[in-house]
Amino acid sequence: MNTREIIELSEKYLMKNVGRIALAPVRGEGARLWDADGLEYLDFVSGIAVNSLGHCPQSVADAISWQSHQLMHCSNLYYIEPQALLAKLLVENSDLDKAFFCNSGAEANEAAIKLARKYARLNYGEEKFEIITALNSFHGRTLATVTATGQPKYQKGFEPLPGGFRYVPFNDLGALEEAIGPSTCAVMLEPIQGEGGVNVPAPEYLEGVAGLCQEHGALLIFDEVQCGLGRTGSFFAYEHYGVAPDILTLAKALGGGFPIGATLAKEKVAAAFQPGDHASTFGGNPLACVAALAAMQELLYGGVLENAISVGEYFYEQLKGLAAKYDYVKDVRGMGLLLGMELSVKGKPLVEGCHTRGLLINCVNDYVLRFIPPLTINTSDVDLAVGILDEVMAELKTE
């Protein structure tokens, strides 16, 4: 099938719950994608930070292939070796003690919300249930996680929303100090907001949040579904700030392209979950866990983190160069290979212009170009991307 035929079939039979662009990828390798018409693209969206090792990493593909001939699925009523090994790897490389596996970031955050409330009820009583999140956050699309998400545009039309959530401005410790109280069971934040505009907090902010949580007996939940697992140049984004959470959620990059999510927690918090409290039929299945094991081993021991730091710094400087050249660029920010360019004009024309020249990028909140390429890209990829972006930016009419 060619691109037109795939689009026509999709328009006829798929729900229109996603705004799609006219592109039908059929093959990927590293940072490159090819569509159904044979056109090649440099992919700086990488499946919204899922393909952190690039498309079809060999180690992950081999692991899935081998496991698919051994055991694809069995119930979590039984013990699953790859699941135990993945939990060990994540725990030994984090400040958390126990893991729960699911299929997505939304499910991981849903589990975190339930765990925080169960822990608070057991230790403080039923009046301690409220969860504070940040404006411009993004925590998922289930009813609870879309309510946790501090963006009304994602909640509109789905009311009534579950109760027990309130919101504060991100990176505003005074606002959190006013909002937190005896009913607060947890504060849930992305250490660096991705979908909300690549917002990086002040160095002292997360430390202050942790102090307020401790003072009020509230748990600290870090949502690292997008910013974790090497995206910022460290294995976890919270390591940049020296602040460890009580609960940590992961997904996107975890499976190297295969769907899997995880909720990690400190021992005393994890103990709140007892058999029957929470589960996932497919979560932590053998295929997903071997994919994640291969991906995380390559990320930790294959020089990927070091590459994300060095190429990320180079990319940031190239974007700063564009910012100096075009007066409609307001800011360039981010860490590692989670970078954003804030504009005073809408970014959609730039996204479309790059697409037609073979570069895939996207825009969040209408005005922030978000760059989340594979962590394995090199400076030549960056030069090619920046060159295309420069051409498109030069043609943009801002009047």
Q: Which residues are annotated as a binding site for pyridoxal 5'-phosphate?
A: 105-106, 138, 223-226, 281
CB 103 within 8 A of CB 283: yes
CB 225 within 8 A of CB 250: yes
Quote the strand ranges of 115-230, DSSP E. Answer: 130-134, 165-168, 184-189, 219-223
Binding residues: 105-106, 138, 141, 223-226, 280-281
What residues are labeled active site? 138, 223, 252
Closest to 226 measured CA to CA, from 300, 149, 287, 173: 149
Closest to 1 measured CA to CA, from 36, 32, 26, 29: 36
Quote the strand ranges of 123-208, DSSP E. Answer: 130-134, 165-168, 184-189
What's the token pair of residue 148? 């946790």
Tell me how far apart the alpha carbons of residues 101 and 84 are, in angstroms, rounded to a whole number.
10
Whose tokens are 């899922």? That residue is 50
Closest to 248 measured CA to CA, from 269, 232, 234: 269
What's the token pair of residue 325? 């050249």
Whose tokens are 């996680």? That residue is 145
